[in-house]
Chain A
Amino acid sequence: GAVVSQHPSRVICKSGTSVKIECRSLDFQATTMFWYRQFPKQSLMLMATSNEGSKATYEQGVEKDKFLINHASLTLSTLTVTSAHPEDSSFYICSAHPGTYNEQFFGPGTRLTVL
């Protein structure tokens, strides 16, 4: 149980394009999902908290107009990186909170490379 998937696992795009990453909780409903960013050899940095049916809450320093988050259902959240630039290249990981537990369960991550 508590499986979270992400799609795509890897994406390469040109500078200026937008990229959408999907995060799904496969066997539970997630009222809250989180989006993290991880640079090489560094730990996870929380970007935003996504609640189903409401606007996401962004961490300080994260541009909400650049990183669009939609949590349309209890099993799906999407992160869209708009007008991507090379400095947006990173490993993006989502997690989902089942609500009845304190643990977060993580997806496998998406490697974004912006050329």
Chain B
Amino acid sequence: EDQVTQSPEALRLQEGESSSLNCSYTVSGLRGLFWYRQDPGKGPEFLFTLYSAGEEKEKERLKATLTKKESFLHITAPKPEDSATYLCAVQGISSGSARQLTFGSGTQLTVLP
């Protein structure tokens, strides 16, 4: 069974204070690891897909990296508008043709001005 654990559960940063969110996973065969952003009362917004260890992707102040056991979402010089819950999900071979995702519980990020 695929499993995803995210840490910390909550993170408070001052504006400009860089940090990283962790996503540890176990999966029989990784098809992809996904990062989403979710604002309160809204659906998740797609950020990144990572497919293999060593891969990195960037978007504005966000950078996602992947190893064989975990992924990090690095936030550089965050702004208050980066405040949200960040969700990590994996898609394993066991999901078959349906390509279901297994989600972690998320990290609630608050960036203070």
Chain A residues engaging chain B, CB cutoff 8 angstroms: 2, 4, 6, 32, 34, 42-44, 46, 49, 51, 57, 91, 93, 95, 97, 102-109, 111
Contacts of A57 in B (CB 8 A): 98
A46 contact from B44, B101, B104, Cβ within 8 A: B101
Main secondary structure of the interface of A (DSSP, over half): strand
8 cross-chain pairs, A with B, having the tightest CB-CB distances, nearest first: A106-B43, A102-B32, A43-B105, A106-B44, A109-B43, A43-B103, A108-B43, A49-B98
Which single residue of chain B is at the shortest CB-CB distance from A50?
A: B98
Contact yes or no, B41 A49, CB < 8 A: no
Most chain A CB inside 10 Å of its own CB: which residue of B49, B101, B105: B101
Q: Interface size (B, Cβ < 8 Å)?
A: 21
Per-position 1/0 for B21-61, Cβ under 8 A of A = 00000000001101010000111111001000000000000
B71 at the interface (CB under 8 A from A): no
A97-B49 Cα distance, complex, nearest whole Å: 14
Contact yes or no, A44 B46, CB < 8 A: no
Chain A proximity of B86: nearest CB distance (Å): 11
Given A44-B44, A93-B44, residue A102 in contact with residue B98 (CB < 8 A): no
A51-B96 Cα distance, complex, nearest whole Å: 13
